[in-house]
């Protein structure tokens, strides 16, 4: 079942939280569909274990053959390992960082991506969708070198990729987080390891404070809404992580 994040005047945002459940062997991952009028975009469509059910579920809300965009925050397997099948099943164009546009075809059979990849430049870009647009916001080194988040100005939802992750089950992912403190134990270790540095997080926080964000929706775990949005931005901007915590002890020859 889809989780409805927003639905007003033909603009719909849906989240799918359970499609990567595979006996607990794979990390929980969310996929997303944005519809505006007669056009649709999938964000971070996931790996092969999610493909079949995601395609069928999307079909209940929007014809998959009318999808116009596939938006990828970065090139990890839980983001676009199913790319070959999406290139076959739809006519959609893949939008991904220009750093990854020549790597993404390795997920596909030869020729499948010809003329169907747009490399997003480092400063980001605006991607037309129906009567609206999706804004690709720079989120480099959180955690990938070329990384983008996708801001929907209609719903005011920020699809944040690996930032804002809370580790847990697909059932936990279905319930929005409205107060940050009770959930930090499921977030802190992940962000300290996967984010590159406090400097990057602080610069990101300065950027997104300029946006009227109603919800931050990560690729793993539950959406952040209400007070949790500002609480998260404040918390993450002060977090030491990644190379901030590295010492010579992390770089020694194994015994």
192-225 pLDDT, tens per residue?
999 999 999 999 999 999 999 999 999 999 999 9
CB atoms within 10 A of CB 240: 12
Alpha helices in the chain (DSSP H): 48-58, 77-80, 83-89, 170-173, 188-194, 198-208, 227-236
99-117 tens-digit pLDDT = 999 999 999 999 999 999 9
For every residue of 48-61, which 3-state class applies, written as one string?
Answer: HHHHHHHHHHHCCC
Whether the pLDDT of residue 21 is over 80: the answer is no
pLDDT value for 1: 79
pLDDT value for 22: 60
Whether the pLDDT of residue 66 is over 90: the answer is yes
Mean pLDDT of 41-62: 94
Half-sphere exposure of 99 (CA within 13 A, CB side): 15
pLDDT value for 23: 61
Question: Model confidence at 229, in pLDDT bands (50, 70, 90)?
Answer: very high
123-131, Cβ contacts within 8 angstroms, sequence gap of 24 or more: 124/148, 127/41, 127/69, 127/71, 127/95, 129/34, 129/36, 129/39, 129/40, 129/41, 129/68, 129/69, 130/10, 130/11, 130/35, 130/36, 130/37, 130/38, 130/39, 131/36, 131/37
User: For the ranges 22-31, 34-43, 54-63, 115-124, which has the lowest average pLDDT?
Assistant: 22-31
Share the mean pLDDT of the chain: 96
pLDDT value for 19: 79
Mean pLDDT of 54-63: 94
What is the model's pTM? 0.96
Rounded Cα distance between 51 and 29, Å, is 12
Judged by DSSP in three states, 87 sits in helix
Question: Model confidence at 118, in pLDDT bands (50, 70, 90)?
Answer: very high
pLDDT value for 29: 93
Nearest to 90 by CA among 60, 132, 58, 122: 58
């Amino acid at each position: 079942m889809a989780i409805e994040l927003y639905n007003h005047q033909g603009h719909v945002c849906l989240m799918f939280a359970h499609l990567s459940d595979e006996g607990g062997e794979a990390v929980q991952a969310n996929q997303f569909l944005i519809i505006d009028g007669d056009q649709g975009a999938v964000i971070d469509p996931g790996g092969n274990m999610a493909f079949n059910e995601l395609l069928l579920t999307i079909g209940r809300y929007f014809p998959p053959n009318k999808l116009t965009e596939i938006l990828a925050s970065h090139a990890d397997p839980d983001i676009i390992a199913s790319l070959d099948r999406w290139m076959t099943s739809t006519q959609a164009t893949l939008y991904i960082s220009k750093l990854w546009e020549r790597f993404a075809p390795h997920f596909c059979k030869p020729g499948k991506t010809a003329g169907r990849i747009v490399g997003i430049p480092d400063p980001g870009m605006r991607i037309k969708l129906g009567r609206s647009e999706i804004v690709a916001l720079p989120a480099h080194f959180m955690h990938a070198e070329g990384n983008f988040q996708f801001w929907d100005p209609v719903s005011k939802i920020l699809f944040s990729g690996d930032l804002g992750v809370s580790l847990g089950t697909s059932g936990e992912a279905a319930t929005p987080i409205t107060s940050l403190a009770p959930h930090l134990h499921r977030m802190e270790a992940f962000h300290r390891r996967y984010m590159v540095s406090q400097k990057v997080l602080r610069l990101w926080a300065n950027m997104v404070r300029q946006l009227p964000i109603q919800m931050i929706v990560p690729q793993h775990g539950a959406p952040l809404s209400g007070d949790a949005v500002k609480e998260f931005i404040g918390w993450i901007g002060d977090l030491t992580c990644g190379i901030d915590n590295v010492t010579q002890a992390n770089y020694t020859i194994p015994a």
